[in-house]
Amino acid sequence: MSTLIRLVAVWCSALSVVLTAVPAADAGIEPGGRLVTAVPAAGTPSILDGQVLSVVQVGRTVVVGGTFTRARDAGGTTTLRRHGLLAFDAVTGRISATFHPDPNRAVLVVRAGPAGTVYVGGDFTSIGGQHRRRLAQLVVGNGRVVRRFNAGRIDDSVRDLRLQGGRLWVAGSFTSIGGRNQRALATLKARTGVARKYFRLAVRGRQRAGLGTTTVVKIEISPNQRRLVAIGNFRSLQHVRNPQLFVVDLGRRKARPAPLRTRFYAPNCSWHYYSYIRDVDFAPDGSYFVVAASGGPSGASGPCDTVARFENRPAANAVPSWVARTGGDTITALEATPSAVYVGGHQRWFNNSFGSNSAGPGAVRRDGLAALSPSNGLPFSWDPGRTKGVGVFDFLVTTAGLWVASDTERIGGQERDRIARFGTGGTSYPSLATPVRPGPLYRGATAPAGGPDWASVGGAFMLGSQLYTGSRDGTFTRRSFDGTTYGPASEVATADAIVPLASWHDDLAVMTGMFYDRGRLYFTRSGSSLLYYRYFNPESGIVGTERRVASGRVPGFDPASVRGMFATRTTLSWATPDGVLHRIGWQQTAAAAVPVGRAVVVGGPGVDGVDWAGALFVGQGAAAGQGG
């Protein structure tokens, strides 16, 4: 019997009574995905001035709103006058000649309504030849105002809209709407615009006392229609402190404050900004929401110029499960999809925790657009670039791809004036599964010859067919491995392209164990009683800039004693210098996983005759979720 077969047989036998398979649908699997193309599609109209602030599709027609006045058909030469609102064919890019409402002031938001209509909000007081103050419903086919819908006098801007059954949510800086007094957020009857009493909670205050107007800037409703998240310039909801972000539960008869609050956005950013959150979106499955912010550089701990993910679960003081940092540039819009969180603004970099209006260690260039991993916020390799301007103001996902609304003319290397669409046929990446059970299990010293210099390897793991190793010379490498044969090694060093990520190379030089689990590289360092992790995106090869602590010493587990380790979805195993193999529970939290429970000995010279000390990794069968 070969050494590898003997190790696997002994290991599986030792654990057969204590390990059970976890269902394939559990959180141990990171779904694969496909990104949109990096070159925008042809056939979109040109909007020649101003800003496109909002985009929606109704049937085959795309409607955009903003501050523009002139536009041209896709490929056309004739300039058309369109004030703040136009419609065009999603396939041909031809601008509708019949949809010509000409609002007298800016359109800030467009949202699909029932039966071929669209709701329009903004600063206007007339639209389609009718008197409508800041909110109207239009027929998409001919641009006419729907007369039965009239919200009456609205005394300030409408910034966002959401349709929920027969209820229209309206957000803005108003204090009166639909015939009743209600500040910043209100519900109307979707057919008539008359106020409903469903939302009667008080939105009060301003982020910086005395500056700006109490405003709800953006709202988003969860896919199951049970929860709404709102962002803007406010301090409290129903007299309870909720700085710049609150969440409400959508009951049958009325909305109530949700048991989910955060103080993450309580600090102020640069004095230029009296409020700095810019956009919010729920994940397609409703499990989390993401928030985009401006505000100026805030280092590796503040909320400014970030994208942050919050889990959609009760928390008295929710903290982000990850934060992506630009190092000083604004994010103005985002869109969460199953494959990526698409973000846009006037940012130059991501993975830039230690830059301040400059590229810090580990920063990667992403001009104006990026696609972030839902698991950890690190960028994918998708990098079309765009002329930055102020930013992207809206995204829209359809079956045809990703629409991007902005204020600039070039995107993805092409001229696309202020509105562009990326198609669906972009780069794909595979799903990744934390092993269900540990087999086939490799110990570096007994792995097949022809691969790494295992004497210098401090940690190793496999993802699919790729073997990753960290060496004491400070290098992080990847090569294929099929259980017998190794492919050529290549260094994984995307985060070193601008300013080398020296702290990661320092970690590698003193590493004593490493494994990957759900978007994070867990590792131990010689002489330290802490279990650390960094984020890692295998698709782009980007390692996160920040070294984070997952756990300290717990009963039975001392990270300082690790000499090789690996994890399954429910257990953490490690070897100690005396060659003994130990196991403890491995439990997920919102931020990371931690060791829990009672540690037990499962192998070693006096147990199974094996000295387990050294790099340990689980083979590709188990890494693909097949067990062993």
pLDDT in tens, 405-436: 999 999 999 999 999 999 999 999 999 988 88
State yes or no: pLDDT of 221 exceeds 90: yes
Size of the chain, expressed as the number of residues it contains:
628
pLDDT tens-place string over residues 526-558: 999 999 999 999 999 999 999 999 999 999 999
| Coil, helix or strand at residue 454 | helix
Confidence band, pLDDT 50/70/90 cuts, at residue 210: confident
pLDDT of residue 601: 97
**DSSP SS3 for 15:** helix
pLDDT of residue 298: 81
Please tell me the predicted confidence (pLDDT) of residue 15: 36
Cα→Cα distances 496→133, 360, 362, 375, 475, Å: 53, 10, 6, 22, 11
| Contact call for residues 255 and 277 (beta carbons, < 8 A) | no
The 10s digit of each residue's pLDDT in 176-194 is: 998 899 999 999 999 999 9
Model confidence at 355: pLDDT above 50: yes
- Give the model's pLDDT for residue 628: 29
17: Cβ contacts below 8 Å, ≥ 6 apart: none
pLDDT of residue 523: 98
CA separation, residue 234 to residues 70, 103, 183, 266, 284 (Å): 36, 29, 11, 10, 27
Q: How is the chain split into domains, by residue range?
A: 3-31+431-623, 201-394
Return the beta strands (E) in 252-360 as ranges. Answer: 255-257, 277-282, 288-293, 306-311, 322-325, 331-336, 341-345, 349-350
Among candidates 584, 399, 391, 421, which has minimal Cα distance to 55?
421
Q: Is 236 exposed, middle or buried (0-12, 13-18, 19+ CB in 10 A)?
A: middle
Rounded distance between C-alpha atoms, residue 462 and residue 458, angstroms: 14
pLDDT at residue 7 above 90?
no
Residue 242 has a pLDDT of 98
How many Cβ atoms sit within 10 Å of the Cβ of residue 327? 26
Residue 114 CB neighbours (<10 A):
12
Contact 534, 508 (CB under 8 A): no
Residues 6+ apart with CB under 8 A from 13: none
pLDDT at 124: 98
> Which one has a higher pLDDT value, 628 or 466?
466
Distance CA 80, CA 521 (A): 54
Contact (Cβ atoms closer than 8 angstroms) between residue 398 and residue 404? no
Question: Would you state the pLDDT for residue 27?
Answer: 60
Spatial CB neighbours of 301, under 8 Å, sequence gap ≥ 6: none
What pLDDT was estimated at residue 356? Answer: 94
Contacts of residue 577, defined as CB under 8 A and 6 or more positions apart, other chains included, come to 561, 563, 613
Rounded Cα gap, residues 295 and 106, in angstroms: 24
DSSP 557: B
Q: In whole angstroms, give the CA distance from residue 590 to residue 311.
A: 7
**Band of pLDDT at residue 8, cut at 50, 70 and 90:** very low
Q: What is the mean pLDDT of residues 606-621?
A: 91
Average pLDDT, the chain: 93
- pLDDT for residue 507 is more than 50: yes
Rg (CA), the chain: 27
- Per-residue pLDDT, averaged over 379-391, amounts to 97
Residue 490, burial from CB neighbour count under 10 angstroms (0-12, 13-18, 19+): exposed
pLDDT in tens, 572-610: 999 999 999 999 999 998 778 999 999 999 999 999 999
Q: Summarize the confidence of residues 363-385 as an average pLDDT.
A: 98
pTM equals 0.94
| pLDDT surpasses 60 at 16 | no
Residue 11 has what pLDDT?
43
